[in-house]
């Protein structure tokens, strides 16, 4: 079977790092900036970055509604940090009016932006992650957390008592950045989800 085609939204954030991690996990990985590129992939990673800026760029590149439509149709997706925020059905502290982060409604959850604090409050630590055995090293950078996980949303990890990783069907999200640690287990989990979907 050919490797799944997994796109990485390449408008802002750790695009290169996610592409490398996905390739190591056995996917054919490619950047996505245009509608035809979105239409060509089996799945999509939404990287970290600044959720309000990514929302603005999704509109500018005419990707917002096509991406929402593909998610509604069952596109597998993985969001890290800002990607988690965007995959939510509701965003708290969404940003300034007219420049706010826009929910893509990929997972039935309420997410709070910058919940762990500002850039200077960034931290890392070992987090138990359901199904992965040994804890993962989690890097939190101006990270969100999940305040409400809907019915049917599986909680995969917590940090400081807060939900920091979830899955609903073929959509996965983490509040932290696994692409910068060298641990490929979360990307491997996502690629396996995509393979199962195909």
73 is catalytic: no
CA distance 101 to 103: 7
CA torsion sign for 112, 104, 49, 163 is: positive
Whether the predicted pLDDT of 198 surpasses 60:
no
- Binned at pLDDT 50, 70 and 90, residue 100 comes out as confident
Can you point out the beta strands (E) in the chain? Answer: 5-9, 28-32, 43-46, 77-80, 88-92, 107-112, 123-127, 136-140, 145-149, 154-159, 162-168, 171-174
- Looking at residue 114, its pLDDT comes to 82
pLDDT, position 116: 79
- Exactly one of 18, 56, 177, 187 is catalytic; name it: 177
**Residue ranges of the binding site for L-glutamine:** 49-51, 113, 141-142
The rounded Cα 33 to chain-centroid distance in angstroms is 16
**How confident is the model at residue 84, as a pLDDT?**
97
Give the other-Cβ count within 10 Å of 127's Cβ. 21
Residue 27's pLDDT band (cuts 50, 70, 90)? very high
Domains of the chain: 5-195 (3.40.50.880)
Give the pLDDT confidence score for residue 120 in this predicted structure: 57
The angle subtended at Cα 124 by Cα 112 and Cα 182, nearest 5°, is: 110
- CA-closest candidate to residue 140, choices 116, 104, 172, 105: 116
The residue from 17, 18, 56, 179 that is catalytic is: 179
* pTM (two decimals): 0.94
> pLDDT tier at 99 (50, 70, 90 boundaries)?
confident
Task: Reply yes or no on whether the pLDDT at 97 is more than 80.
Answer: no
Query: In angstroms, rounded to a whole number, what is the distance separating the alpha carbons of residues 84 and 46?
Result: 8
Quote the tokens at residue 129: 């992650």
Average pLDDT over the chain, rounded to an integer: 93
81 is catalytic: yes
* Among 87, 81, 77, 67, CA closest to 44: 77
- 177 given a catalytic annotation: yes
Residue 109 near residue 164 (C-beta atoms within 8 A): no
State the DSSP code for 26.
Answer: T
Question: Residue 64: pLDDT band by 50, 70, 90 thresholds?
Answer: very high
Q: Tell me what the mean pLDDT of segment 87-92 comes to.
A: 96
Distance CA 182, CA 180 (A): 6
Catalytic residue among 24, 81, 100, 187: 81
Tell me: pLDDT of 184 over 90: yes
Q: Quote the pLDDT of residue 96.
A: 65
């Amino acid at each position: 079977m050919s490797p799944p085609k997994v796109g990485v939204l390449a408008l802002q954030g750790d695009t290169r790092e996610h592409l490398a991690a996905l390739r190591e996990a056995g996917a054919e990985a490619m950047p996505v900036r245009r509608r035809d590129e979105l239409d060509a992939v089996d799945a999509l990673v939404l990287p970290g970055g600044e959720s309000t800026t990514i929302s603005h760029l999704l509109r500018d590149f005419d990707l917002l509604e096509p991406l929402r439509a593909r998610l509604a149709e069952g596109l597998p997706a993985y969001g890290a940090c800002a990607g988690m925020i965007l995959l939510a059905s509701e965003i708290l502290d969404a940003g300034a009016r007219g420049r706010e982060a826009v929910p893509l409604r990929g997972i039935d959850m309420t997410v709070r932006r910058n919940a762990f604090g500002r850039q200077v409050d960034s931290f890392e630590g070992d987090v138990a992650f359901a199904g992965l055995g040994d804890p993962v090293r989690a890097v939190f950078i101006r990270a969100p957390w999940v305040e409400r996980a809907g019915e049917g949303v599986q909680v995969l990890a917590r940090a400081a008592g807060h939900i920091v990783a979830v899955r609903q069907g073929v959509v996965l999200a983490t509040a932290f950045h696994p692409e910068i640690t060298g641990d490929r287990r979360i990307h491997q989990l996502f690629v396996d989800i995509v393979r199962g979907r195909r």
